[in-house]
Structure 1
Amino acid sequence: MAADISKLRNIGIIAHIDAGKTTVTERMLYLSGEKHRVGRVDHGTTDTDDDPEEQERGITIFSACVKYKWGDYNINLLDTPGHVDFTAEVERCLRVLDGAVVVFSAREGVEAQSETVWRQADRYEVPRIVFINKMDREGASFDDVFGDIGPRLGGRPVAVEIPVGQGPTHVADPFRGVIDLVDMKLVQFDPETEGKTVTEVDLPSELRDDAMLWREQLMEVVYELSEEAMTLAMEEKEVPREVVLAALRKGCIERKIQPVFCGSALHGIGVQPLMTGVGNFLPSPLDRPPVEGITPGKEDKPQTRKPDIKEPFCGLVFKILPAKTGDNYWIRIYSGTLEQNSRVFCPNRDKKENVAQIWQIHATKKERDGQSDSVGAGDICCVIGPRFAITGDTVCETKAPVQLPTIQFAEAVLSMAIEPESTADRKKLEETLDMLRRQDPTFRAVENEELGQTIISGMGELHLEVIQHRLTRDFNLNVKFYKPRVNYRETISGQADVTGQCNRVVGANTMFARLKTRVLPAENPSAPVVVFDRLPPDCGLPNAVRTAAIEEIRERAGGGGVIAGFPLSGVRFEVYEAEMQEEGSDEVAFRIAAGDAFESGIQAAGPVLLEPVMRVEVTTPDDYMGEIVGDLQQRRAIIASTETRGAMTVIVAHAPLKEMFGYSSAIRSLSQGRAGSSMEPHGYQPAPQEDAQSFQF
């Protein structure tokens, strides 16, 4: 438990893939003294990428938590993936963090996944600071990246540092340090100590003019945020450093600005000021609003919990790591104190849970010698003992229950069939898939008893590929894998009024029911199905019968559409008239009539198959632009925009997921390995008629 909650920082490192998140994390651990040697992503020696799959691919797949001290501050840092297939890891982390460091590559700038994680941080109202990394790379441009943050992300960047030079050592003006615009000092980093030795010197005359221009922009923001600074400026007095920092901190916590740092994490340049900036500008749990929830069973009764150990305990499960000794539950504690060997309540499951052990976390494992008797408000810990809670569930004090908002994850867009090669493997496969579902909220596994196969679903090709490797390599399962398939949806194209009927003779009895139902499309084709009871109060239907009819339509809608049973979306049902008889018009009869209304209504309204569409961003040298655009158009892509960024052209297109299988390999072939691409879900659109006809109606 942190001695002073005001000195606690729960932060995340978020960015596009390959911007340098893990390298920044490694450098922070080294500079703080947590490590004696800096790990390298390309060598597979980093603390946070400790999974064999991560080390082999050189990317982050699973979020990892590390703790370190920097000055007076205790930092809980979550390193997150940059690939869109693992965006759930970012989602779950941002849900429990108080602040974030957004990393941009000085060469590539604001990229597709940069926009995604920025929007996620906006949704959770997470204050953030910015680190422009890789200032020592060919083509690095601080000004270009800084200038993109406002128009592309809707941010308001404020430079607290600027680089001295940019680019590698062989260019005329290489990157060699930073200028601190608050203290107006040149900050230099000793390469012999990998950035541990930092020296501050007065600005040379040749750097002063440019620094003064940036300093004036910084102070304009300070005057806007601080009345005290404005008053001092009007009186032509010097604004103290403490006033400048306080104003910037206030603006950052209120999410009005994002302080910007720069450097090269690989060479240890600029990371120490960034670490100091985490303490100076990002909020402690005390600076964040009290967490809001509801009283279980009373959804209209709100509750709030302050980050105070005197409040009743409540926390949120944001990650579960299965383990042989008991699943590791990662919990963010919002209020009160969690004690070892205690009992807590999970209102989402209506179950009591045991807290057998509490551990500190290092990377994705329990920290050696890190067992604790208790952990207080604001902190993050690992708990062993719970059995029922899942990701996004609340755990709280039994006598003072509260239920916090859960975590919403995107739906899987890609599926593939798998089946065990022997009966002996079947049970082990079921247990393994159940474990993977607990660990990864975006992973789905549903057994198809008719085919004897299991359909697994994920966020993309890479996601399913990682799952495939884990099943065969980590769990030694003999499993057959089939070609991935797209997860379609179904909707309707128009409106229809239908009458659902039940008129059956069963033995000596006649079952009768009639329901008039209107089926119409919702404004958003991706919206969930809604069923409205528009029956007049005097229609004569008993409540139980009325409820059964409405429930039947909802259940039918939940089972999928009529083309191929894919999930139904963007449909509204309105039941507005009913007819019954004195005998034989019971719940069963009206369920049959409701089912008939559902089937005939969807058919009459024109069922439509929807295919998932991806937003594709390609960065390519101009030489290959024609071939890449032509290839995208052959894949039924619509080019949304093109933009020049330095020597590269960025193409943004919207393409059906079905046509994008294997695209990363194709683009490497088209560009001789010089172009790169990223994809993220964009929405759904009507599929070609031949796709719909390929399914059995």
Structure 2
Amino acid sequence: MRTLNLGILAHVDAGKTSLTERLLHSAGVIDEIGSVDDGSTQTDSLALERQRGITIKSAVMSFVIDDITVNLIDTPGHPDFIAEVERVLSVLDGAVLVVSAVEGVQAQTRVLMRTLQRLRIPTLIFVNKIDRGGARYEHVLHSMSERLAPAVIPMGSVDGLGTRGARCAPFTAADADFTSKLVDLLADHNDAFLAAYVDDEATVSYPRLRGELAAQTQQALVHPVYFGSAITGAGVEALITGITELLPATEGDVDGPVSGTVFKIERGPAGEKIAYVRMFSGTVRTRDLLRFYGDGDGDGDGVGDGEGKVTAVSVFDRGPAVRRASVDAGQIGKLWGLGDIRIGDAIGVSRTGPARHHFAPPTLETAVIPCRPADKGTLHVALVQFAEQDPLINLRQDDIRKEVFVSLYGEVQKEVIQATLANEFGIDVTFRETTTICVERPNGTGAAVEIMGKDPNPFLATVGLRIDPAPIDTGVEFRLEVELGSMPYAFMKAVEDTVKETLHQGIHGWQVTDCTVTMTHSGYAPRQSHSHAVFDKSMSSTGADFRNLTPLVLMSALKQAGSGVYEPMHRFHLELPADTFGAIMPVLARLRAIPLSPEVRGPSCLLEGEIPAARVHELQQQLPALTRGEGVLESAFDHYQPVTGTIPTRTRTDHDPLHRKEYLLNVVRRVAGRRESASGGL
């Protein structure tokens, strides 16, 4: 049987979870359709999801259509939980993007569609809520072709639009206007098809048209559009037909090498870790010893980061997951027993290179403060588990001040963290004021070296490093200009790991990115001992020597290079009444927004531009009063730009290698004695 791993994506409240319920009902998996408002849906299983009526965590259900097993993954629609969507994208064969026929294309719709297109994930569009007052057909199609993708084509007509009795009629070969538009659309992407049509229009049969539509849909070149209602079921059968006919179902190689990706982690009732894995090839069985590694760490070397024995397996089959002896290629399963596995880890043979983020990183940060000081230890344990399920919260521990910081996409995410800690761990917390996360980039080249046995180096290690700027969005790359065999690999790895850890806090306290760090000098004291004695670490280099020295050398090089601080900028799209344009412009100027030329469309005005991420929330709060409640703001992260004026700093959470004396007092023991041993032994 073939398998299709299908994602359901949408802007919040477009009806994505309701569509999931309808698909499960149509396939016979559930007898009654649950309600988001009543908290009775299959995929919103968390208590908090049922209370708030929103999807927070991705959820998987399975159903069968003809000879295809569809693993349907319902994803969050709220932008605060975009990280959950990101993790799902790597395991999808296709997607259905849900758009509301009433609200039309919204901010998150555009973000999602751009990402689906960039990753070339075959995508159908389902225009939901045709039974609601204010539903539109031509307007939504025009908006999608302008703001989502030009290559969209409606697959049916709608009768009774905006009424409870709204119905959809799929287009057929008898609809001349449809076939004409379909030919034009397909010919734009296939010269051979165009030539065949020009040579002999009669030879291009309707079945061939449908075949070419399927081929171009699977290449993510065109996007068929289905209208309907998840609540009434109108148009859903046509969508199901489109899913089976136009999206790429596959038969995995169950006898091939084991290869899979972990896209979700959760904890079971007893606190055990459960890994959700999409299998691309091979078979994983209970009691298999499974190796896994995280190319998300950026090393790309395919070296196993860990292994564990699979103690249990569940596979999604006609509904929720059920216990099985194995999970095969093409399937999605849950694995128990892999205590060290992480989201994004590859099992077996990796299909891709180093993991890259598909969406913008979080741009906000806050400190989590327990209401009861005695809960500090428990809070840290709870947040570590939280970070397992959502690595992009970037848990940051300040051991000096005994505080924990988390990264956020928005205020709703903060509320969810607070409620989860209270409900699942019994910890009441408050938050510090949310601040914007900036980044640092080196301004130029800087280099530093410290030689073993020479003042002021107290460590049994020689480390030389050079830092250079790198292209935007390339992250941090570590290189060697010394021979790999010049010292033990463990010492080289200690330097590399410490470089990446140290760059989490630059000169101004922000994470340093887009740079290349090159190791230019190396040296160590070989393993030595006194006569007839055991190993003496005071005479021999250890990994700690390199871990302690590297921050001093690296920060000295960075200080020489200098670093600039960059703040996150959002691209905004603002639709407002034309007569309120004059009132909004001074506010945009005060918020340091940079608008482009306005576009006036009758009584409406469209305004695009850039605005600092830190000011978006303030603009959202003021917009209703400035536009009589008619203004609509869309914004999404676009890029980082240099900070002007006062440079913001971030409180450091380490012992600060920029201040050598204090740093050494905190990390070194018997410095003088070790230096004497080093000098005498070399």
Q: One fold, TM greater than 0.5?
A: yes
1:100 shift after superposition: 0.8
Q: Residue 379 of structure 2 is aligned with which of 429, 432, 442? A: 429
Per the alignment, do residues 152 and 641 of structure 1 end up closer, same or farther by CA in structure 2, a change over 3 Å counting? Answer: farther
Q: Deviations over 1:489-520 (max 9, x none)?
A: 22244x4666767799769x9999997x8765
Question: Matches of residues 388-403 of structure 1 in structure 2 within 5 Å?
Answer: 388-396=340-348
Range with bigger deviation, 683-692 or 239-248: 239-248
Q: Is contact 2:9–2:75 with CA below 8 Å preserved after alignment?
A: yes
Q: Residue 337 of structure 1 is aligned with which of 268, 277, 283? A: 283
Q: Residue 569 of structure 1 is aligned with which of 513, 524, 530? A: 513
Q: Deviations over 1:146-181 (max 9, x none)?
A: 344455445522332233464457xxxxx8333422
Per the alignment, do residues 594 and 321 of structure 1 end up closer, same or farther by CA in structure 2, a change over 3 Å counting? Answer: closer
Q: Does 1:182 align with 2:172?
A: yes
Q: Deviations over 1:323-346 (max 9, x none)?
A: 224333211111233334444332
Q: Does 1:113 align with 2:108?
A: yes
**In the alignment, which residue of structure 1 is the partner of 2:37?**
42
Q: Quick one: distance in 2 between partners of 1:151 and 1:362?
A: 38
Q: Quick one: distance in 1 between partners of 2:279 and 2:273?
A: 18
1:438 shift after superposition: 1.2
**In the alignment, which residue of structure 1 is the partner of 2:54?**
59
Q: Quick one: distance in 1 between partners of 2:446 and 2:8?
A: 53
Per the alignment, do residues 216 and 630 of structure 1 end up closer, same or farther by CA in structure 2, a change over 3 Å counting? Answer: same
1:624 shift after superposition: 4.9
**In the alignment, which residue of structure 2 is the partner of 1:450?**
400
Q: Quick one: distance in 2 between partners of 1:115 and 1:21?
A: 15
Q: Quick one: distance in 2 between partners of 1:339 and 1:550?
A: 33
1:521 shift after superposition: 3.8
Q: Quick one: distance in 2 between partners of 1:104 and 1:555?
A: 46
Q: Quick one: distance in 1 between partners of 2:337 and 2:490?
A: 41
1:459 shift after superposition: 2.6
Q: Quick one: distance in 1 between partners of 2:284 and 2:212?
A: 35
Structure with the higher strand share, 1 or 2:
1
Instruction: Give the TM-score normalised by the residue count of structure 2.
Output: 0.78
Amino acid at match of 1:316: T
Q: Quick one: distance in 2 between partners of 1:74 and 1:590?
A: 52
3-state secondary structure, aligned to 2:124: strand
Q: Deviations over 1:177-214 (max 9, x none)?
A: 33422344xxxxxxxxxxxxxxxxxxxxxxxxxx5323
Q: Quick one: distance in 1 between partners of 2:442 and 2:494?
A: 21
Q: Quick one: distance in 1 between partners of 2:352 and 2:382?
A: 29
1:21 shift after superposition: 1.5
Per the alignment, do residues 489 and 427 of structure 1 end up closer, same or farther by CA in structure 2, a change over 3 Å counting? Answer: same
3-state secondary structure, aligned to 1:266: coil
1:285 shift after superposition: 1.9
Q: Quick one: distance in 2 between partners of 1:689 and 1:101?
A: 45
**In the alignment, which residue of structure 2 is the partner of 1:616?**
572
Amino acid at match of 1:119: R
**RMSD of aligned residue pairs (Cα, Å):** 4.2
Q: Does 1:522 align with 2:473?
A: no
Question: Matches of residues 88-487 of structure 1 in structure 2 within 5 Å?
Answer: 88-154=83-149, 156-164=151-159, 166-168=161-163, 176-184=166-174, 211-221=175-185, 237=202, 241-286=206-251, 307-325=252-270, 326-347=272-293, 348-360=304-316, 367=321, 370-396=322-348, 405=353, 407-409=355-357, 410-422=360-372, 424-487=374-437
1:483 shift after superposition: 1.6
Give ranges in structure 2 of 5+ residues lacking alignment.
Answer: 294-303, 524-539, 653-657, 659-682
Amino acid at match of 2:356: Q
Amino acid at match of 1:34: V
Q: Is contact 2:486–2:522 with CA below 8 Å preserved after alignment?
A: no
Q: Quick one: distance in 2 between partners of 1:253 and 1:113?
A: 23
**In the alignment, which residue of structure 2 is the partner of 1:687?**
643
Per the alignment, do residues 677 and 59 of structure 1 end up closer, same or farther by CA in structure 2, a change over 3 Å counting? Answer: farther
Q: Quick one: distance in 2 between partners of 1:379 and 1:574?
A: 42
Per the alignment, do residues 19 and 498 of structure 1 end up closer, same or farther by CA in structure 2, a change over 3 Å counting? Answer: same
Per the alignment, do residues 622 and 425 of structure 1 end up closer, same or farther by CA in structure 2, a change over 3 Å counting? Answer: same
Q: Is contact 2:446–2:559 with CA below 8 Å preserved after alignment?
A: no
Q: Quick one: distance in 2 between partners of 1:81 and 1:104?
A: 14
3-state secondary structure, aligned to 1:692: coil
3-state secondary structure, aligned to 2:238: helix
**In the alignment, which residue of structure 1 is the partner of 2:532?**
none
Amino acid at match of 2:172: V
Q: Deviations over 1:33-81 (max 9, x none)?
A: 3333333333333222232333333322211112223344332111112
Q: Deviations over 1:540-575 (max 9, x none)?
A: x99349998998698457424554321112345678
Q: Deviations over 1:644-694 (max 9, x none)?
A: 689765543322222234654444455565444444322212223324379
Q: Is contact 2:277–2:334 with CA below 8 Å preserved after alignment?
A: yes
Amino acid at match of 2:312: A
Q: Is contact 1:552–1:595 with CA below 8 Å preserved after alignment?
A: no
**In the alignment, which residue of structure 1 is the partner of 2:675?**
none
Q: Is contact 1:501–1:513 with CA below 8 Å preserved after alignment?
A: yes
Q: Quick one: distance in 2 between partners of 1:608 and 1:695?
A: 17
Q: Quick one: distance in 2 between partners of 1:511 and 1:176?
A: 78
Q: Quick one: distance in 2 between partners of 1:513 and 1:375?
A: 49
Q: Quick one: distance in 2 between partners of 1:593 and 1:476?
A: 41
Amino acid at match of 2:406: I
Q: Quick one: distance in 2 between partners of 1:510 and 1:469?
A: 47
Per the alignment, do residues 578 and 321 of structure 1 end up closer, same or farther by CA in structure 2, a change over 3 Å counting? Answer: closer
1:447 shift after superposition: 2.0
Q: Is contact 2:502–2:551 with CA below 8 Å preserved after alignment?
A: no
Amino acid at match of 2:421: L
Q: Deviations over 1:364-418 (max 9, x none)?
A: xx55xx322333321112233322211111233xxxx557546434533222112
Q: Quick one: distance in 2 between partners of 1:545 and 1:434?
A: 32
Range with bigger deviation, 496-505 or 633-642: 496-505
Aligned residues: 620
Q: Quick one: distance in 2 between partners of 1:120 and 1:343?
A: 36
3-state secondary structure, aligned to 2:569: strand
Q: Is contact 1:106–1:145 with CA below 8 Å preserved after alignment?
A: yes
Q: Deviations over 1:564-587 (max 9, x none)?
A: 3211123456788999xxxxxx99
3-state secondary structure, aligned to 1:43: coil
Q: Quick one: distance in 2 between partners of 1:64 and 1:599?
A: 44
Q: Does 1:631 align with 2:582?
A: no
Amino acid at match of 2:394: R
Q: Is contact 1:361–1:381 with CA below 8 Å preserved after alignment?
A: no
Q: Quick one: distance in 2 between partners of 1:77 and 1:546?
A: 45
3-state secondary structure, aligned to 1:344: strand
Instruction: Give the TM-score normalised by the residue count of structure 1.
Output: 0.76
Amino acid at match of 1:337: T
Per the alignment, do residues 391 and 505 of structure 1 end up closer, same or farther by CA in structure 2, a change over 3 Å counting? Answer: closer
**In the alignment, which residue of structure 2 is the partner of 1:204?**
none
Amino acid at match of 1:259: P
Q: Quick one: distance in 2 between partners of 1:148 and 1:489?
A: 35
**In the alignment, which residue of structure 2 is the partner of 1:199?**
none
3-state secondary structure, aligned to 2:217: helix
Give ranges in structure 1 of 5+ residues lacking alignment.
Answer: 170-174, 185-210, 287-306, 580-585
Range with bigger deviation, 470-479 or 663-672: 663-672
1:278 shift after superposition: 0.4
Per the alignment, do residues 64 and 573 of structure 1 end up closer, same or farther by CA in structure 2, a change over 3 Å counting? Answer: closer
